[in-house]
Amino acid sequence: MGNKNKTISFRVNEDAFETLREIAEERDISLSAVFRDYVDTLVAHDGQVQVVPEHELEEMQSGDDEESFPPTVEVPKSFIREHERLELEADHLREQLEEHKRYVNYLREQLEDDEEEVIQLEDLDAGETDEPSFRLG
């Protein structure tokens, strides 16, 4: 329950929307996936993403033997599986924590309700002098 997806909503002009839709169709992905890819890249590079037209990108890549842009990293499937397992475990632990918090709150409420019924012995001794006292031998 911890890492919930959030919705971002904003407006773009019709031309930009159509261009984005074409990009999504070219890549055979949803329009949302286009934005998720961009956001993932932006976050992964700490906001340091440069938008480069395709023709300039091709010129940059043909002229240099440097790494391609955007940089890509191959990750072993075992790493991905372990990451997913840890995310599931974290979700499970968050759910357990919430359950324990609810239980503690329930116990506190029970304690507060029971405090009204508690009779303190000191109050009994001080308040009731009309009754006879008994002493043991």
CA–chain centroid gap for 81, Å, is 19
**E strand or H helix that includes residue 94:** helix 77-115
Residue 104 has pLDDT above 90, yes or no: yes
Residue reference for tokens 């031309």: 15
**pTM of the predicted structure, to 2 decimals:** 0.34
C-alpha 36/C-alpha 10 separation (Å) is 14
Range 71-96 average pLDDT: 90
Q: Are 12 and 20 in contact (CB under 8 A)?
A: yes
Residue 122 has pLDDT above 70, yes or no: yes
Q: Are 88 and 3 in contact (CB under 8 A)?
A: no
Q: What confidence tier does 88 reach under pLDDT thresholds 50, 70, 90?
A: very high
> What pLDDT is attached to residue 132?
59
